């Protein structure tokens, strides 16, 4: 692993390259905060893919892409005389020191829950009007639900145990089924949302990341369905011409792969 000096040199190299590109490359020179935003979102999802795949070579590259974007934003801001990368790094360092008084102060926090509670309390003291203020509006719904639940847990708004949450899941299932029978689409959607929210809450209690779990299921389904397609094509058949029973037989094969 690199020494601290080698890490500094590598980061300085990236900053110098960013300066060169911003000055000499027509594409890099043209970029703005807004034009980079969509690319950053794409890079973040690519980073997520690498994490789920546990592909460390890919992960290294994706982290580099994200770091480049952070340096790029800082460079653009410095050109507007707003801030530079040193301001960014010092700001996050100051925030981390301030929000970890159990490390840099005299506050005691021996558990993860105590650390999170202190964190949320400090944010409110900093001027936040709500513990939910820091949850981005554009987050995917499953991720947002998880973050909301984690945030309110930090101030003590939570169930006592997982059995209570599971009872809530069962309650929401019944409420959804009732609205389904009534055929009210708007109420069905509302109750289905409540059901998903309660399931996500239960996942939190048992230590399962619902976003990761669903994505792994998506990937598993894609893999099995593509096996079904390949097997069907190899026999010069069409899925549309096959019965559900025939397709299910191949699906069961795919599950064993």
Q: In this predicted model, what pLDDT tens digit does every residue of 121-143 receive, in sequence order?
A: 787 777 778 889 888 888 889 99
What are the CA-CA distances from residue 224 to residues 54, 215, 232, 254 (Å)? Answer: 20, 14, 12, 5
Backbone φ and ψ of 136, nearest 5°: -60, 135
2 vs 129: CA distance, rounded Å: 43
pTM above 0.75, yes or no: no
230 vs 228: CA distance, rounded Å: 6
The predicted structure's pLDDT at residue 114: 83
The predicted structure's pLDDT at residue 202: 97
First-to-last C-alpha distance (Å) of the chain? 38
The predicted structure's pLDDT at residue 173: 97
The predicted structure's pLDDT at residue 100: 92
104: alpha, beta or left? (left if phi > 0; alpha if psi -120 to 50): alpha
Low-confidence ranges of the chain (pLDDT < 70): none
């Amino acid at each position: 692993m690199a020494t601290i000096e080698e890490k500094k040199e590598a980061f300085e190299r990236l900053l110098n390259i960013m300066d060169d590109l911003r000055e000499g490359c027509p594409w890099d020179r043209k970029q703005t905060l807004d034009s980079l935003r969509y690319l950053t979102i794409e890079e973040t999802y690519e980073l997520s893919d690498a994490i789920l795949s546990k592909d460390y070579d890919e992960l290294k590259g994706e982290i580099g892409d994200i770091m480049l974007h952070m340096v790029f934003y800082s460079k653009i801001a410095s050109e507007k005389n707003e801030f530079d990368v040193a301001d960014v790094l010092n700001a996050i360092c100051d925030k981390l020191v301030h929000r970890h008084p159990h490390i840099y102060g005299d506050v005691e926090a021996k558990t993860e829950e105590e650390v999170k509670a202190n964190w949320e309390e400090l944010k409110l003291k900093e001027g936040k009007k709500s513990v939910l203020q820091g949850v981005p509006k554009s987050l995917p719904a499953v991720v947002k639900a998880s973050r909301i639940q984690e945030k309110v847990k930090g101030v003590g708004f939570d169930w006592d145990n997982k059995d209570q949450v599971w009872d809530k899941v069962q309650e929401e299932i019944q409420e959804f089924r009732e609205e389904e029978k009534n055929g009210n689409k708007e109420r069905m959607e509302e109750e289905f949302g409540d059901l998903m929210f309660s399931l996500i809450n239960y996942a939190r209690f048992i230590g399962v990341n619902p976003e990761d779990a669903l994505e792994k299921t998506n990937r598993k389904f894609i893999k099995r369905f593509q096996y079904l397609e390949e097997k069907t094509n190899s026999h010069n058949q069409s899925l549309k011409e096959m019965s559900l029973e025939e397709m299910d037989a191949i699906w069961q094969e795919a599950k064993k792969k």
